[in-house]
Amino acid sequence: MSYIEVRNLKKNFVVKKKREKGKLLREKETVKALKDLSFSVDEGELVGYIGPNGAGKSTTVKILSGILTPDDGEVSVGGIVPWKERKRHVKNIGVVFGQRSQLWWDVPIIDSFKLLKDIYRIPDKAYEERLGELILALDLEDFIRTPLRLLSLGQRMRAELCGSLLHRPGLLFLDEPTIGLDAVSKLALRDFLKWENKEYGTTIMLTTHDMEDIAALCSRVMVLGHGQKLFDGKLPDLLERFDTVRNVSVKYADGDPCLKLPEGVMTKKTEDGLELSYEPAKLPTAQLLSILQDAGNIRELTLQPENTDHLIAAMYKELDL
């Protein structure tokens, strides 16, 4: 059996709608956050978990971390049902919610760490060792004695991550950990996660909207939409499925000529020249290039693959999300 096993997981939320005119009571509406979700994750895997807003990603993470009780289905994490044996389960997991904070606002972060040490009953020696390691890896030395309220977002995120890893969890949930970070902090965070995963075999489940996070970190990616799993596999395989479009931008020396292009090619005029997108499967690249060359005197031409965000957007659209 795999480390994480999820079978036929279902979760509904009851939402009260705004009261309509002429009606006394508010109507209730059931939102199906998860409908029949199943997957499994092996120990030491680094899984990316993506999907549009409201797809059920956070709900899954909340159930797996023991915060929410599902309506139906089975979940086992290392042999434990999270919501049934909450205290035993949470000892071995670490969670980072990118938009929330676990550290105390008004006190130096080292004091928050000491509290976590007591909460998880980490022995003194193990704590010192681990803290030293994390301070080094996450570069916390400069602000470890600074109250949280004075830290920048990037510093705070690193401190939050440190707090979640002090007790050496075997399983780490990251819910949008790179939200709002600058490029340097993002890269540092990714490097750290890779290192943690490799060094200690920590299983990591990463929720994000940042495709670069996934590309840099995850060997496996799961796509969730409308509470269902739509894809489960390697990122290149996912991209290949939807990576059907190429973009060409072309600039002519003496004004844009009138192009006679076959059907299926989208043209857009910009200040700088023309932008075309086409599907190589339908129109071979060489053919398009020769059409462009015949039309006039080309000054500049670039050929680009579709960027990942567009691909994901196209995928969401195609899957009707």
Partner 1 sequence: MRSYISVFKMRFRMELQYRGAMIGGVLCQMFFGLVLVALYRALYEGHPQSVPVENVVTYVWLQQGFFRMILASDPELLDKIRTGDISYDMCRPVNMYGFYYARIMALKLTGSIMRAVPMFVMAFLLPKGWGLSLPASLFSFLAAIPALMLGLLCVCAIENITVAFTMITLDPRGIQGLLNLLMMILSGNILPLTLFPDSWQKVITLFPYAQLLDAPIRIYTGDHGLESILGVYMLQGIWIVLLLAFGIYMWEQNRKRMIVQGG
Closer to partner 1 by Cβ: residue 163 or 276: 163
Place of tokens 């978990």: 49
Taken as a whole, the chain contains a residue count of 321
Q: Which of 9, 46, 50, 97 binds partner 1 (CB under 8 A)?
A: 97
Using the minimum distance from each CB to partner 1, give the nearer residue, 17 or 88: 88
269 binds partner 1 (CB under 8 A): no
In the complex, the smallest distance separating the C-beta of residue 261 from partner 1, rounded to whole angstroms, is: 43
Please choose, from the candidates 277, 214, 215, 291, the residue with its C-alpha nearest in 3D space to the C-alpha of residue 247: 277
- Are 166 and 117 contacting, i.e. CB atoms less than 8 angstroms apart? yes
Phi, psi of 100 (to 5 degrees): -120, 170
CA dist 57 and 60 (Å) reads 5
- Closest contact distance (angstroms) between CB of 226 and partner 1 is 16
How many residues bind to partner 1 according to rule CB under 8 A? 35
130 near partner 1, rule: CB under 8 A:
no
What sign does the dihedral 89-154-197-111 (CA atoms) show? negative
Binds partner 1 (CB under 8 A): choice among 50, 77, 80, 95: 95
Q: Quick one: 138 or 166, whose CB is closer to partner 1?
A: 166
Q: Applying CB under 8 A, which of residues 175, 196, 210, 213 lies at the interface with partner 1?
A: 175
Minimum CB–partner distance for residue 228 and partner 1 (Å): 18
Instruction: Give, in order, the Cα–Cα distances in Å from 304 to each of 159, 199, 201, 244, 269.
Output: 38, 37, 37, 12, 17
Nearer to partner 1, 167 or 186 (CB): 167
CA dist 125 → 132, 166, 292 (Å): 11, 12, 69
Residue 58 binding partner 1, by CB under 8 A: yes
Does 69 contact partner 1 by CB under 8 A?
A: yes
Closest CB 65 distance from partner 1, rounded Å: 5
- Give me 158's structure tokens: 């690193």
Q: Residue 305 CB, nearest distance to partner 1 (Å)?
A: 30
CB 106, min distance to partner 1, A = 6
- The CB-of-191 to partner 1 minimum distance in angstroms stands at 25
3-state secondary structure of 110: helix
Q: 117 vs 190, which CB is nearer to partner 1?
A: 117
In the 8-state DSSP scheme, what is residue 80? B
Q: Is 34 in the site for partner 1 (CB under 8 A)?
A: no
Q: Which is nearer to partner 1, 113 or 278 (CB)?
A: 113
Cβ-based burial of 296 (10 A; exposed 0-12, middle 13-18, buried ≥19): middle
The nearest distance, CB 223 to partner 1, in angstroms, is 17
Residues 6+ apart with CB under 8 A from 145: 108, 109, 110
The smaller minimum CB distance to partner 1, of residues 174 and 239, is found at: 174
Residue 187 tokens read as 């890269």
221-243 exposure pattern, b = at least 16 Cβ within 10 A, e = fewer: bbbbbbbbbbbbeebeebbeebb
Using rule CB under 8 A, residue 72 touches partner 1: no
> Does 195 interact with partner 1 (rule: CB under 8 A)?
no
* Contacting positions for partner 1 (CB under 8 A): 13, 53, 57-58, 62, 65-69, 86-88, 90-91, 93, 95, 97, 99-102, 104-107, 111, 114-115, 118-121, 175-176
